[in-house]
Structure 1
């Protein structure tokens, strides 16, 4: 074959390879984006699952009540809104009026006494004025999220620094001990399952269907009022989002079936309402976990195995929650910004950074417990195994939190000292036995 042909064949093969590489890199990018989207959707589904279960149990209770009573009894539950005919609507106080300062609890208000028609039209005007909380001019583009800060800037109250000694000690101990724990950390989340036949039976009940029709007809003004509240909601603090969601859910619980009724209102801002609930529930769950970790106390009455298992399980939950938030926070924070929902708590400068620092308490308690056990053990191989266990846990948290604070460094120094003392003691005994 002439040399020219070889060259042209090689160059055409090169082009094919380049084209296939470009295709594969674009597919990888697309695959990565799809995975991120799937992770976001999974998180959204999980965060709404609890809310759905609450709704289902509420529906079930209401249905049982409606089965016990006649249709006239059922209709009487709407009297709380003073709705004897379609045209009458007694406006409820809006969220800002109800809040009246952050310290007030968000219980659903008692209905006011029935007003005169003149008072109704006057208060309707007031409601309309109150709705104009956010100007209709376009919102300025929100600033992009700040890049994660260096670990030493994570918290003003606690300063952490890297401790190279724990990394060295961990590596030297794991070389000695090739056996690593294979922990399976699968936690199945029970989900309330509704039997299909039961759902069918419920939906076929005429009392249920007529109750939905009644809600759609009589609660129109009330739902339009809630639509405006959700659309105009804008917050600077995530705790205010929690309060608003609690209030909104309290208002919607008066409907016989929230989703079935709202389906008839295409203008209902479902995406924003879902985002508000997702942010509120995620923040609440993380905050509760952070409180549990930061207030953790070792129970000395428990055996070493029980105590260390408890600390390990708590740290696993903490890491899993932080990792889940970090994985979805880019896409979530963008959605939250679009809906004027605070998002800074999802980054290391906010609650997530605080959660990482809270884990230092677990590291400190774990190392203290191991040090105490080491003082009462005489078997060298047991000591080595315990030392590895303590250092492995502390190393894991050191990497997670970005360093140790002073108290955790002191616990680590104590563990090293006790470990070295035991080592010398056994070495000395072995020499005497020779």
Structure 2
């Protein structure tokens, strides 16, 4: 009797997931069939339009990256009407490599432009505590460094393809947008050093003062190496930081000397 009851209960529980699995499989088959039917319909009804897009992509040639961006946006907008872009285009002689290269160039350029704009428009808020403000500037510099690194990798892999597909790549060169990235990093260094200099005036000496000076000099050196130098204004900010560091060092020595004199007198 125990074996029977156990067997009955087991068989009763297994029917629920079995039925559920069956319904899931039926639903998946039906949905999949509907999806495939929609793809087939697109292939049959949108053929002329897709062939028009193929000609547009194949004949596309640009001399300015700014012209690639609206073309890619237009192309993506047109393809968005297809129920499944990849599945439909597979049925045609779609120039996939060139279309992907155009997208890669357009998106890469837009990301680069957006980052440079973000860093260039950064304003240090004096109401914000010094620590978070410096961390924010450090994070922006890291973004710029990663951007240049990724751009160099992208340039190596894209050079041949872009030339074949007539996609401009001057913006990827060191003389292109990279120079603007480096200029943005120099301006960031100036703001960083000015914030450190301002904070030194409020810090009452000790380890905190020394740590601030070290942070400022390290950041300045890092940007100097990254950008290959400073402009006049940033160099002036560095000299101001250097002078304050020397002044702090002299004050520290004087305080130590006074303490030493008092201890010896006692």
TM-score, normalization by structure 1? 0.53
Name the residue aligned to 2:82.
255
2:169 is aligned with 1:343: yes
Name the residue aligned to 2:55.
228
Name the residue aligned to 1:374.
200
Paired residues, number: 236
Extract unaligned runs of 5+ from structure 2.
1-23, 262-266
Partners of 1:425 and 1:383 lie apart in 2 by 12
Name the residue aligned to 1:281.
107
CA deviation profile, 1:50-94 (whole Å, cap 9, x unmatched):
xxxxxxxxxxxxxxxxxxxxxxxxxxxxxxxxxxxxxxxxxxxxx
Give matches, 1:6-85, under 5 Å: none
Q: Secondary structure at the match of 2:241?
A: helix
- RMSD value, Cα: 1.7
* Correspondence for 2:66 among 239, 247, 267: 239
2:236 is aligned with 1:391: no
Q: Secondary structure at the match of 2:36?
A: helix
Q: Is the 8 A contact 1:296 1:361 kept in 2?
A: no
Q: Is the 8 A contact 2:205 2:248 kept in 1?
A: no
Going from structure 1 to structure 2, the CA distance change for 1:365 and 1:224 (only over 3 Å counts) comes to same
Partners of 2:170 and 2:225 lie apart in 1 by 23
Per the TM alignment, residue 405 of structure 1 is displaced from its structure 2 partner at its CA by: 0.4
CA deviation profile, 1:135-169 (whole Å, cap 9, x unmatched):
xxxxxxxxxxxxxxxxxxxxxxxxxxxxxxxxxxx
Partners of 1:202 and 1:234 lie apart in 2 by 44
TM-score, normalization by structure 2? 0.85
Partners of 1:352 and 1:212 lie apart in 2 by 43
2:91 is aligned with 1:264: yes
Per the TM alignment, residue 378 of structure 1 is displaced from its structure 2 partner at its CA by: 1.8
Q: Is the 8 A contact 1:203 1:209 kept in 2?
A: no
Give matches, 1:25-424, under 5 Å: 201=28, 204-265=31-92, 267-424=93-250
Deviating above 6 A after TM superposition, structure 1's stretches of 4 or more consecutive aligned residues are: none
Going from structure 1 to structure 2, the CA distance change for 1:201 and 1:322 (only over 3 Å counts) comes to farther
- Structure with max Cα Rg: 2
Q: Is the 8 A contact 1:202 1:208 kept in 2?
A: no
Structure with a larger share of its residues in helix: 2
Going from structure 1 to structure 2, the CA distance change for 1:203 and 1:245 (only over 3 Å counts) comes to farther
Partners of 2:205 and 2:147 lie apart in 1 by 38
CA deviation profile, 1:286-330 (whole Å, cap 9, x unmatched):
110010111111111211111011111111111011101112312
Q: Secondary structure at the match of 1:205?
A: helix
Partners of 1:203 and 1:344 lie apart in 2 by 50
CA deviation profile, 1:256-312 (whole Å, cap 9, x unmatched):
1111110111x1000000000000001100110010111111111211111011111
Name the residue aligned to 1:86.
none
